[in-house]
Structure 1
Amino acid sequence: MAYRLIIANKTYSSWSLRPWLALAAADIPFTEELVPLGSDAFQARLAGLGTAGRVPVLIDGEAVVWESLAIISYVAERHPEAGLWPQDPLARAMAQAISAEMHASFGALRNALPMNLARPVEPRPIDAPVRKDVDRICALWTAARARFGGAGPFLFGAFGAADAMYAPVATRLRTYGVALDPVSAVYVDAIHAHPAFVRWREAALQESWVVAEDEIDWPTVKR
Protein backbone atom coordinates (compact mmCIF):
# COMPACT_ATOMS: atom_id res chain seq x y z
CA MET A 1 0.00 0.00 0.00
CA ALA A 2 1.33 3.44 -0.92
CA TYR A 3 1.70 6.09 1.72
CA ARG A 4 -1.07 8.67 2.04
CA LEU A 5 0.14 12.17 2.88
CA ILE A 6 -2.42 14.68 4.13
CA ILE A 7 -1.34 18.22 3.33
CA ALA A 8 -2.80 21.73 3.12
CA ASN A 9 -2.60 24.54 0.57
CA LYS A 10 0.59 24.31 -1.48
CA THR A 11 0.81 28.08 -1.69
CA TYR A 12 1.19 28.53 2.05
CA SER A 13 1.80 25.26 3.91
CA SER A 14 5.52 25.13 4.55
CA TRP A 15 5.21 22.13 6.86
CA SER A 16 3.32 20.20 4.19
CA LEU A 17 5.99 20.98 1.62
CA ARG A 18 8.77 19.36 3.63
CA PRO A 19 7.72 15.69 3.66
CA TRP A 20 6.02 15.96 0.26
CA LEU A 21 9.30 17.14 -1.23
CA ALA A 22 11.31 14.43 0.52
CA LEU A 23 9.01 11.71 -0.78
CA ALA A 24 8.76 13.12 -4.29
CA ALA A 25 12.48 13.79 -4.66
CA ALA A 26 13.28 10.25 -3.54
CA ASP A 27 10.70 8.72 -5.93
CA ILE A 28 8.90 7.03 -3.04
CA PRO A 29 5.31 6.29 -4.10
CA PHE A 30 2.58 8.13 -2.19
CA THR A 31 -0.81 9.68 -2.70
CA GLU A 32 -1.56 13.18 -1.51
CA GLU A 33 -4.76 14.38 0.09
CA LEU A 34 -5.06 18.15 0.18
CA VAL A 35 -7.43 19.69 2.72
CA PRO A 36 -7.64 23.51 2.50
CA LEU A 37 -6.63 25.52 5.55
CA GLY A 38 -9.57 27.03 7.38
CA SER A 39 -12.15 24.90 5.58
CA ASP A 40 -14.91 22.98 7.33
CA ALA A 41 -13.28 19.80 6.08
CA PHE A 42 -9.92 20.54 7.68
CA GLN A 43 -10.56 19.69 11.34
CA ALA A 44 -13.11 17.05 10.39
CA ARG A 45 -10.51 15.19 8.36
CA LEU A 46 -7.90 15.31 11.10
CA ALA A 47 -10.28 14.45 13.94
CA GLY A 48 -9.81 10.97 15.28
CA LEU A 49 -6.31 10.48 13.90
CA GLY A 50 -4.74 11.15 17.29
CA THR A 51 -2.57 13.94 15.92
CA ALA A 52 -2.16 17.58 16.91
CA GLY A 53 -4.89 18.63 14.50
CA ARG A 54 -2.40 20.05 12.02
CA VAL A 55 -0.85 18.94 8.76
CA PRO A 56 1.09 17.15 7.45
CA VAL A 57 0.03 13.66 8.46
CA LEU A 58 1.39 10.47 6.93
CA ILE A 59 -0.78 7.35 6.98
CA ASP A 60 0.93 4.03 6.38
CA GLY A 61 -1.51 1.23 7.08
CA GLU A 62 -2.09 1.35 10.82
CA ALA A 63 0.77 3.80 11.37
CA VAL A 64 -0.12 7.49 11.64
CA VAL A 65 2.81 9.90 11.75
CA TRP A 66 2.59 13.67 12.15
CA GLU A 67 5.12 16.52 12.29
CA SER A 68 7.28 17.06 9.21
CA LEU A 69 10.60 15.90 10.61
CA ALA A 70 9.05 12.80 12.18
CA ILE A 71 7.48 11.88 8.84
CA ILE A 72 10.75 12.34 6.97
CA SER A 73 12.63 10.29 9.56
CA TYR A 74 10.00 7.53 9.42
CA VAL A 75 10.22 7.32 5.65
CA ALA A 76 14.03 7.46 5.70
CA GLU A 77 14.10 4.49 8.08
CA ARG A 78 11.66 2.54 5.93
CA HIS A 79 13.59 3.37 2.73
CA PRO A 80 17.33 3.50 3.48
CA GLU A 81 18.01 3.04 -0.23
CA ALA A 82 16.52 6.49 -0.86
CA GLY A 83 19.47 8.16 0.87
CA LEU A 84 17.43 10.86 2.56
CA TRP A 85 20.09 11.06 5.27
CA PRO A 86 23.77 11.05 4.22
CA GLN A 87 25.57 7.73 4.46
CA ASP A 88 28.69 9.24 6.02
CA PRO A 89 28.22 9.30 9.83
CA LEU A 90 29.63 12.80 10.26
CA ALA A 91 27.52 14.23 7.48
CA ARG A 92 24.45 12.41 8.77
CA ALA A 93 24.98 13.78 12.26
CA MET A 94 25.16 17.33 10.94
CA ALA A 95 22.18 16.84 8.62
CA GLN A 96 20.03 15.58 11.47
CA ALA A 97 21.18 18.35 13.81
CA ILE A 98 20.46 21.19 11.40
CA SER A 99 17.13 19.63 10.46
CA ALA A 100 16.15 19.52 14.13
CA GLU A 101 17.25 23.15 14.50
CA MET A 102 15.05 24.08 11.56
CA HIS A 103 12.11 22.29 13.15
CA ALA A 104 12.52 24.05 16.50
CA SER A 105 13.93 27.48 15.69
CA PHE A 106 13.74 30.62 13.55
CA GLY A 107 10.42 31.89 14.87
CA ALA A 108 11.16 35.50 13.97
CA LEU A 109 11.68 34.62 10.32
CA ARG A 110 8.62 32.36 10.21
CA ASN A 111 6.35 35.04 11.67
CA ALA A 112 7.67 37.95 9.66
CA LEU A 113 8.02 36.21 6.29
CA PRO A 114 5.30 33.59 5.80
CA MET A 115 5.65 31.18 2.91
CA ASN A 116 3.59 32.44 0.00
CA LEU A 117 4.52 30.95 -3.35
CA ALA A 118 1.97 33.06 -5.21
CA ARG A 119 3.37 36.42 -4.11
CA PRO A 120 5.65 38.16 -6.62
CA VAL A 121 9.29 38.54 -5.62
CA GLU A 122 9.44 41.90 -3.89
CA PRO A 123 11.96 43.03 -1.28
CA ARG A 124 10.66 43.77 2.17
CA PRO A 125 12.57 45.32 5.09
CA ILE A 126 13.48 42.93 7.89
CA ASP A 127 14.25 43.72 11.50
CA ALA A 128 17.20 42.59 13.63
CA PRO A 129 15.64 39.34 14.96
CA VAL A 130 14.79 38.22 11.43
CA ARG A 131 18.26 39.14 10.21
CA LYS A 132 19.73 37.09 13.05
CA ASP A 133 17.69 34.07 11.93
CA VAL A 134 18.73 34.58 8.31
CA ASP A 135 22.39 34.87 9.26
CA ARG A 136 22.23 31.67 11.31
CA ILE A 137 20.54 29.77 8.50
CA CYS A 138 23.07 31.00 5.95
CA ALA A 139 25.91 30.03 8.27
CA LEU A 140 24.50 26.50 8.52
CA TRP A 141 24.11 26.26 4.77
CA THR A 142 27.62 27.54 4.15
CA ALA A 143 29.17 25.14 6.66
CA ALA A 144 27.32 22.13 5.25
CA ARG A 145 28.17 23.03 1.66
CA ALA A 146 31.84 23.61 2.49
CA ARG A 147 32.28 20.38 4.42
CA PHE A 148 29.94 17.92 2.71
CA GLY A 149 28.42 19.47 -0.40
CA GLY A 150 31.08 18.74 -2.97
CA ALA A 151 29.17 15.99 -4.80
CA GLY A 152 26.19 18.14 -5.80
CA PRO A 153 24.38 21.47 -5.41
CA PHE A 154 22.57 20.68 -2.17
CA LEU A 155 23.62 20.88 1.48
CA PHE A 156 25.18 17.41 1.54
CA GLY A 157 25.66 16.99 -2.18
CA ALA A 158 22.58 15.10 -3.31
CA PHE A 159 19.12 16.30 -2.35
CA GLY A 160 18.10 14.90 1.02
CA ALA A 161 16.10 15.35 4.19
CA ALA A 162 17.90 18.50 5.30
CA ASP A 163 17.14 20.17 1.97
CA ALA A 164 13.48 19.23 2.32
CA MET A 165 13.46 20.82 5.77
CA TYR A 166 15.03 24.07 4.55
CA ALA A 167 13.20 24.37 1.22
CA PRO A 168 10.39 26.56 2.62
CA VAL A 169 13.01 28.94 4.02
CA ALA A 170 14.59 29.17 0.58
CA THR A 171 11.22 30.23 -0.82
CA ARG A 172 10.76 32.88 1.86
CA LEU A 173 14.18 34.36 1.22
CA ARG A 174 13.46 34.61 -2.49
CA THR A 175 9.88 35.86 -2.19
CA TYR A 176 10.83 38.73 0.10
CA GLY A 177 14.09 39.60 -1.65
CA VAL A 178 16.34 39.00 1.36
CA ALA A 179 19.99 39.78 0.73
CA LEU A 180 22.16 36.64 0.79
CA ASP A 181 25.80 35.67 0.54
CA PRO A 182 26.84 34.01 -2.76
CA VAL A 183 26.81 30.44 -1.41
CA SER A 184 23.33 30.80 0.04
CA ALA A 185 22.01 32.51 -3.09
CA VAL A 186 23.20 29.63 -5.27
CA TYR A 187 21.65 27.14 -2.87
CA VAL A 188 18.29 28.95 -3.01
CA ASP A 189 18.49 28.71 -6.80
CA ALA A 190 19.16 24.96 -6.58
CA ILE A 191 16.09 24.40 -4.40
CA HIS A 192 13.87 26.32 -6.80
CA ALA A 193 15.24 24.39 -9.79
CA HIS A 194 14.69 20.92 -8.31
CA PRO A 195 12.05 19.12 -10.44
CA ALA A 196 9.99 18.04 -7.42
CA PHE A 197 9.86 21.60 -6.10
CA VAL A 198 8.95 22.90 -9.55
CA ARG A 199 5.98 20.49 -9.60
CA TRP A 200 4.82 21.67 -6.16
CA ARG A 201 5.10 25.34 -7.09
CA GLU A 202 3.26 24.86 -10.39
CA ALA A 203 0.40 23.23 -8.50
CA ALA A 204 0.44 26.03 -5.91
CA LEU A 205 0.03 28.64 -8.61
CA GLN A 206 -3.18 26.94 -9.75
CA GLU A 207 -4.82 27.34 -6.33
CA SER A 208 -7.52 29.96 -5.81
CA TRP A 209 -7.61 29.96 -1.99
CA VAL A 210 -6.43 33.04 -0.11
CA VAL A 211 -5.34 32.85 3.54
CA ALA A 212 -5.24 36.35 4.99
CA GLU A 213 -2.77 35.61 7.78
CA ASP A 214 -0.18 34.47 5.24
CA GLU A 215 -0.67 37.49 2.98
CA ILE A 216 1.87 39.90 4.41
CA ASP A 217 0.46 42.79 2.33
CA TRP A 218 -3.14 42.19 3.47
CA PRO A 219 -5.70 43.48 2.62
CA THR A 220 -3.80 43.72 -0.64
CA VAL A 221 -3.25 40.31 -2.23
CA LYS A 222 -0.29 40.52 -4.56
CA ARG A 223 -0.23 38.11 -7.50
Structure 2
Amino acid sequence: MAATELTISSKIYSSWSLRGWLLCRLAGLRVTEKMVALENLENRAELLLLTPSVLVPRLTHEGASVWDTLAIAEYLHELYPNAGMYPKDRIARAHCRSVSGEIHSGFANLRSALPMNLKVRHKKFPIFSGAKPDIERVEAIWTECLGSYGGPWLFGDSPTVADAMFAPVVQRFLTYAVKLQGPAAAYCDTVNSWDLMREWIDDARKEPDEVEELDVEF
Protein backbone atom coordinates (compact mmCIF):
# COMPACT_ATOMS: atom_id res chain seq x y z
CA MET A 1 0.00 0.00 0.00
CA ALA A 2 1.30 3.48 -0.91
CA ALA A 3 2.40 5.68 1.97
CA THR A 4 -0.01 8.29 3.29
CA GLU A 5 1.59 11.64 2.48
CA LEU A 6 0.80 15.26 3.22
CA THR A 7 2.50 17.67 0.85
CA ILE A 8 3.25 20.95 2.61
CA SER A 9 5.51 23.95 2.26
CA SER A 10 7.19 26.03 4.96
CA LYS A 11 6.16 25.46 8.56
CA ILE A 12 7.26 28.98 9.39
CA TYR A 13 5.04 30.83 6.95
CA SER A 14 2.38 28.56 5.48
CA SER A 15 -1.00 28.83 7.16
CA TRP A 16 -2.55 26.42 4.67
CA SER A 17 0.03 23.73 5.40
CA LEU A 18 -0.55 24.14 9.13
CA ARG A 19 -4.29 23.72 8.67
CA GLY A 20 -3.93 20.57 6.60
CA TRP A 21 -1.52 19.04 9.10
CA LEU A 22 -3.74 19.84 12.08
CA LEU A 23 -6.73 18.31 10.31
CA CYS A 24 -4.85 15.07 9.72
CA ARG A 25 -3.80 14.92 13.36
CA LEU A 26 -7.35 15.69 14.55
CA ALA A 27 -8.53 12.71 12.51
CA GLY A 28 -5.87 10.52 14.09
CA LEU A 29 -4.20 10.03 10.71
CA ARG A 30 -0.42 9.83 10.76
CA VAL A 31 1.19 11.07 7.58
CA THR A 32 4.59 11.28 5.98
CA GLU A 33 5.35 14.94 5.35
CA LYS A 34 6.54 15.85 1.88
CA MET A 35 8.01 19.32 1.48
CA VAL A 36 7.59 21.13 -1.85
CA ALA A 37 10.40 23.02 -3.51
CA LEU A 38 10.03 26.80 -3.37
CA GLU A 39 11.48 27.66 -6.79
CA ASN A 40 8.05 27.36 -8.37
CA LEU A 41 6.11 30.66 -8.41
CA GLU A 42 2.88 29.01 -7.27
CA ASN A 43 4.68 27.48 -4.32
CA ARG A 44 6.10 30.88 -3.46
CA ALA A 45 2.65 32.44 -3.59
CA GLU A 46 1.34 29.76 -1.24
CA LEU A 47 4.26 30.32 1.07
CA LEU A 48 3.31 33.99 1.34
CA LEU A 49 -0.32 33.07 2.06
CA LEU A 50 -1.61 34.98 -0.92
CA THR A 51 -3.92 32.23 -2.13
CA PRO A 52 -5.55 29.03 -0.86
CA SER A 53 -6.01 27.73 -4.40
CA VAL A 54 -2.61 26.16 -5.13
CA LEU A 55 -2.33 22.44 -4.55
CA VAL A 56 -0.71 22.64 -1.10
CA PRO A 57 -1.50 21.09 1.26
CA ARG A 58 -2.27 17.88 -0.58
CA LEU A 59 -3.22 14.64 1.15
CA THR A 60 -2.38 11.42 -0.69
CA HIS A 61 -4.21 8.52 0.91
CA GLU A 62 -5.12 5.07 -0.41
CA GLY A 63 -5.34 6.17 -4.03
CA ALA A 64 -7.02 9.50 -3.31
CA SER A 65 -5.36 12.86 -3.84
CA VAL A 66 -7.10 15.61 -1.91
CA TRP A 67 -6.10 19.27 -1.84
CA ASP A 68 -7.64 22.38 -0.31
CA THR A 69 -8.02 22.40 3.45
CA LEU A 70 -11.81 22.18 3.54
CA ALA A 71 -11.79 19.29 1.08
CA ILE A 72 -9.25 17.53 3.31
CA ALA A 73 -11.47 18.18 6.34
CA GLU A 74 -14.52 16.67 4.69
CA TYR A 75 -12.57 13.71 3.33
CA LEU A 76 -11.17 12.91 6.76
CA HIS A 77 -14.53 13.36 8.48
CA GLU A 78 -16.05 10.91 6.00
CA LEU A 79 -13.34 8.37 6.78
CA TYR A 80 -13.24 8.95 10.54
CA PRO A 81 -16.71 10.14 11.61
CA ASN A 82 -16.02 9.31 15.26
CA ALA A 83 -12.84 11.39 15.50
CA GLY A 84 -14.78 14.45 16.67
CA MET A 85 -13.67 16.71 13.86
CA TYR A 86 -17.12 18.30 13.81
CA PRO A 87 -19.62 18.74 16.67
CA LYS A 88 -22.18 15.97 17.11
CA ASP A 89 -25.11 18.38 17.26
CA ARG A 90 -26.51 19.22 13.82
CA ILE A 91 -26.89 22.95 14.47
CA ALA A 92 -23.45 23.28 16.03
CA ARG A 93 -21.99 21.26 13.15
CA ALA A 94 -23.53 23.66 10.63
CA HIS A 95 -22.13 26.58 12.61
CA CYS A 96 -18.68 24.97 12.64
CA ARG A 97 -18.75 24.47 8.89
CA SER A 98 -19.89 28.06 8.35
CA VAL A 99 -17.14 29.75 10.35
CA SER A 100 -14.54 27.38 8.89
CA GLY A 101 -15.67 28.28 5.39
CA GLU A 102 -15.64 31.98 6.23
CA ILE A 103 -12.02 32.02 7.36
CA HIS A 104 -11.05 29.80 4.43
CA SER A 105 -12.47 32.08 1.74
CA GLY A 106 -12.29 35.57 3.20
CA PHE A 107 -10.17 37.97 5.25
CA ALA A 108 -7.84 38.98 2.40
CA ASN A 109 -6.74 42.17 4.15
CA LEU A 110 -5.81 40.29 7.30
CA ARG A 111 -3.81 37.76 5.29
CA SER A 112 -1.81 40.40 3.44
CA ALA A 113 -1.29 42.74 6.39
CA LEU A 114 -0.37 40.06 8.94
CA PRO A 115 1.39 37.17 7.18
CA MET A 116 2.16 34.18 9.35
CA ASN A 117 5.71 34.05 10.67
CA LEU A 118 6.35 31.68 13.55
CA LYS A 119 9.88 32.96 14.18
CA VAL A 120 8.87 36.54 14.99
CA ARG A 121 7.17 38.31 17.91
CA HIS A 122 6.60 42.06 17.64
CA LYS A 123 5.97 44.07 20.80
CA LYS A 124 4.17 46.67 18.68
CA PHE A 125 3.10 46.61 15.06
CA PRO A 126 1.16 49.18 12.98
CA ILE A 127 -2.02 47.50 11.77
CA PHE A 128 -3.19 48.52 8.29
CA SER A 129 -6.63 50.10 8.68
CA GLY A 130 -8.09 47.81 6.04
CA ALA A 131 -7.27 44.79 8.21
CA LYS A 132 -9.08 46.09 11.30
CA PRO A 133 -12.59 45.03 10.20
CA ASP A 134 -11.22 41.53 9.55
CA ILE A 135 -9.69 41.42 13.03
CA GLU A 136 -12.96 42.61 14.57
CA ARG A 137 -14.89 39.95 12.67
CA VAL A 138 -12.55 37.18 13.84
CA GLU A 139 -12.87 38.36 17.42
CA ALA A 140 -16.67 38.40 17.05
CA ILE A 141 -16.69 34.83 15.70
CA TRP A 142 -14.55 33.59 18.56
CA THR A 143 -16.56 35.41 21.21
CA GLU A 144 -19.85 34.08 19.84
CA CYS A 145 -18.61 30.50 19.62
CA LEU A 146 -16.98 30.51 23.04
CA GLY A 147 -20.11 32.00 24.59
CA SER A 148 -22.44 29.58 22.83
CA TYR A 149 -20.52 26.35 23.40
CA GLY A 150 -18.67 27.02 26.64
CA GLY A 151 -15.06 26.84 25.46
CA PRO A 152 -12.19 26.50 25.85
CA TRP A 153 -12.29 25.52 22.15
CA LEU A 154 -14.65 27.16 19.68
CA PHE A 155 -17.17 24.33 19.86
CA GLY A 156 -16.73 23.05 23.36
CA ASP A 157 -14.25 21.00 25.29
CA SER A 158 -12.22 19.59 22.38
CA PRO A 159 -10.76 21.02 19.16
CA THR A 160 -12.63 20.73 15.87
CA VAL A 161 -12.10 21.68 12.24
CA ALA A 162 -12.84 25.29 13.16
CA ASP A 163 -9.92 25.41 15.58
CA ALA A 164 -7.59 23.99 12.95
CA MET A 165 -8.79 26.65 10.50
CA PHE A 166 -8.31 29.51 12.94
CA ALA A 167 -5.02 28.31 14.45
CA PRO A 168 -2.89 30.29 11.96
CA VAL A 169 -4.93 33.42 12.75
CA VAL A 170 -4.08 32.97 16.42
CA GLN A 171 -0.40 32.87 15.49
CA ARG A 172 -0.74 36.01 13.37
CA PHE A 173 -2.33 37.86 16.26
CA LEU A 174 0.45 36.75 18.61
CA THR A 175 3.18 37.64 16.11
CA TYR A 176 1.89 41.16 15.52
CA ALA A 177 0.73 41.93 19.08
CA VAL A 178 -2.93 42.31 18.12
CA LYS A 179 -4.80 43.35 21.25
CA LEU A 180 -7.79 41.19 22.07
CA GLN A 181 -10.21 41.21 24.98
CA GLY A 182 -11.58 38.57 27.34
CA PRO A 183 -12.64 35.30 25.73
CA ALA A 184 -10.77 35.95 22.48
CA ALA A 185 -7.49 36.53 24.32
CA ALA A 186 -8.04 33.37 26.38
CA TYR A 187 -8.73 31.43 23.18
CA CYS A 188 -5.38 32.52 21.75
CA ASP A 189 -3.70 31.10 24.84
CA THR A 190 -5.61 27.83 24.42
CA VAL A 191 -4.55 27.39 20.80
CA ASN A 192 -0.97 28.48 21.39
CA SER A 193 -0.67 25.92 24.22
CA TRP A 194 -2.18 23.11 22.12
CA ASP A 195 0.29 20.23 22.03
CA LEU A 196 -0.11 19.92 18.25
CA MET A 197 0.54 23.63 17.80
CA ARG A 198 3.66 23.42 19.95
CA GLU A 199 4.90 20.46 17.91
CA TRP A 200 4.46 22.40 14.66
CA ILE A 201 6.15 25.52 16.09
CA ASP A 202 9.11 23.48 17.34
CA ASP A 203 9.60 22.08 13.84
CA ALA A 204 9.17 25.54 12.29
CA ARG A 205 11.98 26.97 14.38
CA LYS A 206 14.37 24.45 12.86
CA GLU A 207 13.67 25.65 9.31
CA PRO A 208 15.86 28.22 7.53
CA ASP A 209 14.24 31.57 6.82
CA GLU A 210 12.94 31.97 3.26
CA VAL A 211 10.94 35.19 3.07
CA GLU A 212 13.96 37.46 2.54
CA GLU A 213 14.63 35.56 -0.69
CA LEU A 214 11.15 36.18 -2.07
CA ASP A 215 10.60 39.18 -4.30
CA VAL A 216 7.17 40.02 -2.91
CA GLU A 217 6.07 42.78 -0.58
CA PHE A 218 3.57 42.05 2.21
Give the shorter-chain TM-score range: 0.7 to 0.9
| Alpha-carbon offset, residue 214 of structure 1 | 7.9
Per-residue deviation, residues 129-188 of structure 1 (Å, max 9, x unmatched): 21100000110111111111x2x4110011010000000000000000011111111101
Runs of 5+ in structure 1 lacking a partner? 44-51, 219-223
Matched letter for residue 186 of structure 2? V
- Structure 2 match to 1:127: 128
- Structure 1 match to 2:16: 15
Q: Which moved more, 1:206-215 or 1:9-18?
A: 206-215
Per-residue deviation, residues 110-134 of structure 1 (Å, max 9, x unmatched): 0011000011233211132211000
- Structure 2 match to 1:198: 198
User: Matches of residues 74-223 of structure 1 in structure 2 within 5 Å?
Assistant: 74-148=75-149, 150=150, 152-157=151-156, 158-212=158-212
| Alpha-carbon offset, residue 62 of structure 1 | 2.0
| Alpha-carbon offset, residue 4 of structure 1 | 1.2
Separation in 1, partners of 2:169, 2:216: 16
Separation in 1, partners of 2:57, 2:110: 21
Separation in 2, partners of 1:135, 1:53: 28
Distance change >3 Å, CA 110–CA 144, structure 1 → 2: same
Per-residue deviation, residues 5-51 of structure 1 (Å, max 9, x unmatched): 100010001000002012224432222112243369x69xxxxxxxx
Distance change >3 Å, CA 27–CA 215, structure 1 → 2: farther
Matched letter for residue 143 of structure 1? E
Matched letter for residue 174 of structure 1? L
Separation in 2, partners of 1:32, 1:122: 33
Separation in 2, partners of 1:181, 1:9: 31
Matched letter for residue 65 of structure 1? V
Aligned-residue sequence identity (percent) comes to 40
Runs of 5+ in structure 2 lacking a partner? 45-52
Distance change >3 Å, CA 214–CA 122, structure 1 → 2: farther
Separation in 1, partners of 2:113, 2:216: 8
Distance change >3 Å, CA 187–CA 38, structure 1 → 2: farther
Q: Which moved more, 1:168-177 or 1:115-124?
A: 115-124
| Alpha-carbon offset, residue 60 of structure 1 | 1.3
